[in-house]
Structure formats: structure tokens, C-alpha cells
Structure 1
Amino acid sequence: MEKNVSNIKRLSNPTSYFLSVVGFFILVGLAVGIVYGATAAVQYQWRWFKVPQYFMYKPTVTIYAEDDGEIKSITEKGGEVELLVEEGGETHTYMVPKGSLSLDEGDMLSPGDIIAEYKDGWKPGILLKGLWLTLKISFMSTIFGILLGIIGGVARVSDTPVLKWSAITYVEIVRGSPLLVQIMIFYFVLGTTINSILSMHGMPIIHPEWYGIMALSVFTGAYVVEIVRAGIEAIHPGQIEAARSQGLTYFQTMFHIILPQALKTILPPLAGQFINLIKDSSLLGMISVTELTKATREGITTSLQTFELWLLCAVLYLSMTFTLSMFVQYLERRTANK
């Protein structure tokens, strides 16, 4: 016993701790060096300076002449310029920022000539849009998944056959098939049927994003059912009997007595499930939902910045999952103190 204690003390002394920290950063440096060495071997040119435009950018607005014409007048109004252009016998008015004109009053125009060119206001880039959509889908799927999981978990431990068997059937079917297959069924089978009915009645169709949320919610809910069931069964059965003896119904007992206590047990596995949900949302690109992964692929298609954008995509997913993990740890500490 003393030998074990002395070994632990030796490992936890300041010198060993410092060396361990140095060793960690050496390993990180080696990993980064290997990546850069590999890119140098294939002569890849890093272009990190182009990455910010995928988050925020100022689009270039170009006004072209549509027909033969003439610039009739140029009038300054504050920080803008009012431009009157006669094209094809009609007079068109353009309001453009001051300094965006390269023509003068009286200049003649031909079809395709540039009348004005300027930078518009800031717009969200494709990665920022994809990140927002991933967060939105993950949040909504988490809420619906929790609701399905709690209802299914309570039904799973019920003694009523219709509730218990329905919950078991739901869990086995969903957990027994791949998520990608379920997404395809929701979109191409269920979605096609529902949208066809809506179109026949002159109603707007449902966007693919919502079928993706349905698929993720149902898939996550099946795993939450088993997590909730395990948490409920960890509570002593005597508490259920005591609550029922006080006149509480089965569902009142579950939602007021059992589930609040089970929360402490089920929080860690729930966190893991919802972290998986954020990553699983990347599959929705298969049904034309431009979440973060699909947005990254589209950015690579237009810029050929393969390494930068995929690494950035991984960092963004890591930031989301790490933030969720820290939040759940905070909740665990709060519930442990109560």
C-alpha cells in the first residue's frame, strides 16, 4: 500500500506534472508538423487569408446597361448618387454609392457596359449560414427527441401492454436501422407523399429541413427512451408504491417523483447522445439541407481550399460539442448539490 502511495506522489509532484505538460505540447506540435509536412509533400498552397469571407463578406454589386442608351444626369444626394439612364427609349433611375461610377454625364452606353460597381453591406458567408442551420436543427431535434424519449421511457416501464409494447417496437425498429436510411425514408417516402397532398390542395410544401428534423428527433428519441428507462429503474420501486398509496396516478408519480431523481443518473448519457446528434446532422446534406458539412463541400467546390475548410469545419463541430459538454457538466454539478 505504501509503495502505491509513493508512486502516486512521485507522479503528482511539480516536476512530473511540468514534464507531462511539455510532453503534451510536444505531441500536439508533432501532429501539426506531420500535417504541414504532408501538405508540403503534395505542394499544397495554404490560403488561410481567404477563409474570413466564408463567415462574413461584402458582395460586389454590378449594374450593367441592358440596351443602347445615354447617361442623362448624375445628381449627388448625401453619400449616394442618383443616376438617370435612358435605355431603349425609357428612363431608368439608379441610386448608387458615391465613388462607384466610372462614367460621366452624357456618356453613351452599349449593352453589357458597366454603369456602376460597388460593395454592398456585410452578408453572412456560407459557413456561417451552415453553422446557424446546424445549431437550429440540432436544438430543435434535441427538444423533440427529449419529449419523445421521456414519453417513450415512461411507457417502456409501464405494465400496460399497449404502452410497453409500442415503446419496445419503436425502439427496436429505429435502433435497428441506419440513420441515413431513416432520413431517406422521411424525405423521399413520407416527404414526397405529404408534399404531393399539400400541392394538390394548393398549400405550401414542407421544406426538406423539417423532414431532417423529424428523422433526427425520432432517431434520438429511441436512444433517449432506453436512457430514461435505465434512470427510472435505478430509483427504488418503493418510492413508486409510496406515491401511489398517496393517491398519485402513474404518470403523476413519474413526472413529479421519479423523473426529477432520475435526472442525475441520465444526464451524462444524454449529453453523449446529444453530442452525437450534432454530428449526425451532417447527414442531412444528402437531402439538400445546407448544414455545416454541405456548406463546407460547396465552399471547397468553388475555392478548392480543401484542407483549410475541412479543418475549419472540424473545429466548428468541436466547438459546438465541447460547449454542450461543458454545459452538461455544469448541470451535473448543480443537480449534485441539490
Structure 2
Amino acid sequence: MTDLSAPAPQTAPQTTRPRAQGRGFPVVSVALYALIIGGIIWGAYAGAQSMGYNWQWYRMPQYFYRLTDDGFQWGEIAIGLVKTLQLSTIAFVLATVIGLVVALLRMSGLVVGTAVAIGFLEFIRNMPILVLLYLFYYVLGPVFGFDRFTASILCLAVFHGALISEILRAGIQAVAPGQWEAAKSIGMSTTQAYRYIVLPQSVRFMLPPMTGEVVHLVKSSAIVSVIAVAELTTIGRNIISDTYMSFEVWFTIAAVYMVVTLILSIGVSWLENKYAVDH
């Protein structure tokens, strides 16, 4: 017989995870990008038509690839894109290391460490990136023997390292204080607590702002064209100086940047959904 006086079993409450809400974000982003770019293209086309501009889109594919008697060869824009991605990747890795060091110094509780971190942040955040680039290339370059590419990497890494340090600091501080107490209670040192407990949990808090910082860095890499680093923007300027196809080249360069940033945004949005913070 069934005991009617026994309490009914309780089922766990159903919780709604934020990750399910964010799945449509890439689609919305793509639609918004397409709408904006479509408006820009229409405005430029109308303006070019009023100027009597001679469109030469048929010449653009050769700057991505060409088939010659020697076989398949990459074009200038494809080579510039690879250089941009290489520059951005190295700079981002170095910026993350710099940002982590600065964030840990600021949270160390040491007077000297905190002062150095705050001084670094205030100096970098209040300096235009173009001025910082000139400082690395024209001032520090001759002293330490930096070439254009090295100076560009260091400039981007230092500038974005200052921004990333604040992202990392906020992510670390978002971890519940109880996690620190638990780590100390089982005999972990501060380094071990950071490595095994705090940093792995803080990743989910850092992903959204780090996404924006990656995209920001890729776009910022175009600034190195002022010192003639052979990346995507510099290649575009060189093509224009040879062909005078300003509209076609800049539209193409803009489209390439857009595709790269969209791929990054969609990829990291997937990671955000996978490691979403449950409330």
C-alpha cells in the first residue's frame, strides 16, 4: 500500500541558463553588419556615379590570387591578410601576458607593485596609440634595434595589455571569495590558488570583454600602416597608388576586415554560450 502521509518527492527547480538566450546573437550581428555595410556601399556607389567614376571590380580578384605559368600564387591582399593575422595574434598573446602581470601586481597588496601597475595603466591609457607607435619605432627602435614589425607588435601589445589587465582584474575579482578561503583551507599557496582555482573560474567572466578586445586589436593593427608595415591596410594603399582604384580597394579591404571580425565574434559567442555563467 502507498503511504499517503509520506511527503511527495520534490523535483529540482528548472533554471533557465543565459546561454540559451545568446544563441541568436551572431545572426543579429551579421544582419546588422550587412545593413550598415549595405547603406555605406549604396551611398558610395551613388556618390561615385555622380562623379562619373569608372568602376573596375573585374581587376580585384587578381589581388587575392592569380594563376600564372608557374601555377597558383597568392595575391597581395591575401598576403597582407596573413601578415595582419600574424601581427594581431602575436600582439594579443603578448598583451595577455602583460595584462596578467599588471593585474596581479595591482592586486598584490604591495605598495611598489600597486604603484607600478597604476602608473603603467595611467600612462598608457592616456596616450594615443599613434603617439605610442611613434615612440616605439622612432625613439626606442634606434636604441634597442627594433625593426618595423617588432615595434608594431610591442606597441599593440603594450597598449592593449593595459586594457586587458583591467579585464583580467575584473574577472579575477568576480570569483567568489569563498573559493579563496577553500583553497587556503586545503593548504594551497597563493600561486596554486590562482593557477588551479581562481583563473580557471574567472575565464567565463572574461570571455565577453576579451572578445571585444580581440576585435579591437585586429582593427587597431591597421595603425601600423603609418610606418609602412606590410599588412592589409598598407597593401591597400600601395595598390591604390598603382591603380587609382580607391573605391574598389577600400571596399574590399573593409569587407576583409569585416569577415575576420565577424568570424572572431561568432566563434567567441559560441564559447560564451558554452561556458556561460549560471545564475
The residue that corresponds to 1:50 in the other structure is: 59
- 2: CA distance between counterparts of 1:250 and 1:220? 26
Residue number in structure 2 paired with 1:295: 235
Q: Distance in 2 between matches of 1:327 and 1:215?
A: 26
Residue of structure 2 aligned with 1:276, choices 216, 230, 239: 216
* Larger RCO (alpha carbons 8 Å, 6+ apart): 2
Letter in 1 for 2:66: Y
| Letter of the structure 1 residue corresponding to residue 188 of structure 2 | L
Matching residue of 2:85: 135
User: Which of residues 184, 187, 190 in structure 1 aligns to 2:140?
Assistant: 190
Deviation, structure 1 residue 151: 2.1
Pair 1:308 & 2:264 matched: no
- Structure with more helix by fraction: 2
Question: Within 2, Cα distance between the matches of 1:207 and 1:31?
Answer: 37
Number of aligned residue pairs: give it. Answer: 246
Is contact 2:137–2:147 with CA below 8 Å preserved after alignment?
no
Q: CA deviation at 1:57?
A: 2.9
CA contact (8 A) 2:95 2:164 kept: yes
| Match of residue 82 from structure 1 | none
Q: Are the counterparts in 2 of residues 144 and 217 from structure 1 also a CA contact under 8 Å?
A: yes
Unaligned ranges ≥5, structure 2: 1-32
Q: For residue 265 of structure 2, what is the aligned residue in structure 1?
A: 325
1:37 aligns with 2:41: no
Question: Are the structure 2 counterparts of residues 279 and 26 from structure 1 closer, same or farther at C-alpha, using a change threshold of 3 Å?
Answer: closer
For 1:214 and 1:148, locate their aligned partners in 2 and report how far apart those are by CA, in whole Å. 11
**Is it true that 1:174 corresponds to 2:130 in the alignment?**
no
How much has 1:187 moved relative to structure 2? 1.0
Match of 2:275, SS state, is helix
CA displacement at 1:305 relative to structure 2: 0.6
The worse-fitting range, judged by mean Cα deviation, of 262-271 and 240-249 is: 240-249
**How big is each residue's C-alpha offset from its partner over 1:175-222, in whole Å with a ceiling of 9 and x where there is no partner?**
110111111111111111122xxxxxxxxxx53111111111111111
Give me the whole-angstrom Cα distance separating, in 1, the residues matched to 2:83 and 2:229: 9
Per the normalisation by structure 2, the TM-score is: 0.82
Looking at structure 1, the residues matched to 253 and 66 of structure 2 have their Cα atoms a distance apart, in angstroms, of 18
Partner of 2:28: none
User: Percent sequence identity over matched residues?
Assistant: 35
Distance 1:32 1:143 in 2: 35
Q: Which residue of 1 aligns with 2:202?
A: 262
CA distance in 2, matches of 1:235, 1:218: 26
| More displaced 10-residue stretch of structure 1: 238-247 or 137-146 | 238-247
Cα distance between partner residues in 2 of 1:185 and 1:28: 35
Q: What is the CA–CA distance in structure 2 between the aligned matches of 1:246 and 1:29, rounded to whole Å?
A: 58
Distance 1:337 1:35, change over 3 A: same
The amino acid across from 1:39 in the alignment is A
Question: Structure 1 residue 132: deviation in Å?
Answer: 0.7
Structure 1 residue 58: Cα displacement: 5.2
> 1:124: how far off?
2.2
- Give the whole-Å Cα distance in 2 for the aligned partners of 1:189 and 1:48: 42
**RMSD, aligned CA:** 2.2
1:49-81 per-position Cα deviation (integer Å, ceiling 9, x unaligned): 10011112357xxxxxxxxxxxxxxxxxxxxxx
Distance 2:197 2:238 in 1: 50
Please say if residues 141 and 151 of structure 2, whose CA atoms lie closer than 8 Å, have aligned partners that are also in contact.
Answer: yes
* Residue 160 (structure 2) pairs with residue 151 (structure 1): no
Note if contact 1:156-1:225 (Cα within 8 Å) is conserved in structure 2.
Answer: no
Distance 1:162 1:322, change over 3 A: same
- Local SS of the residue matching 1:122: strand
Q: TM-score if structure 1 supplies the norm length?
A: 0.68
Cα distance between partner residues in 2 of 1:244 and 1:284: 46
In our comparison, the structure showing a higher alpha carbon Rg is 1
Structure with more of its chain in strand, by fraction: 1
